[in-house]
Amino acid sequence: ASGPLTVARIKAIHGPLKTIFISGHTRQHWSAGEVFPNDSVFLHKPFTRAQLGSAIRTLLGETAAELSD
């Protein structure tokens, strides 16, 4: 099953789930029917630690300024 479909199935059982989708393919290469949830982030490989950290902060609703306080 695809990532978005798997996440949808997990959410149906366990409720809300923030997700980082990671792929070597761009979003355009995914199936036209794939729907990425609003509470998710897409991260294209390869990525840096800084990009991963930014994706995590985005999902958690934090900004760099909030983290430095």
Average pLDDT estimate for 54-68 = 74
Structure tokens at 68: 């430095």
pTM of the model: 0.71
Q: Which residues contact 57 (CB under 8 A, 6 or more apart)?
A: 63, 64, 67
Q: Confidence band (pLDDT; 50, 70, 90) for 1?
A: low
The span from the CA of 69 to the CA of 66, in Å, is 5
Inter-residue long-range contacts of 22-26, CB under 8 Å, 24+ positions, other chains counted: 22/47
pLDDT tens digits for range 13-52: 999 989 999 988 766 666 556 677 788 888 999 999 999 9
Q: Confidence band (pLDDT; 50, 70, 90) for 53?
A: very high
Look at residue 28 in the predicted model and tell me its pLDDT. 66
- Residue 8 half-sphere exposure toward CB, CA atoms < 13 A: 10
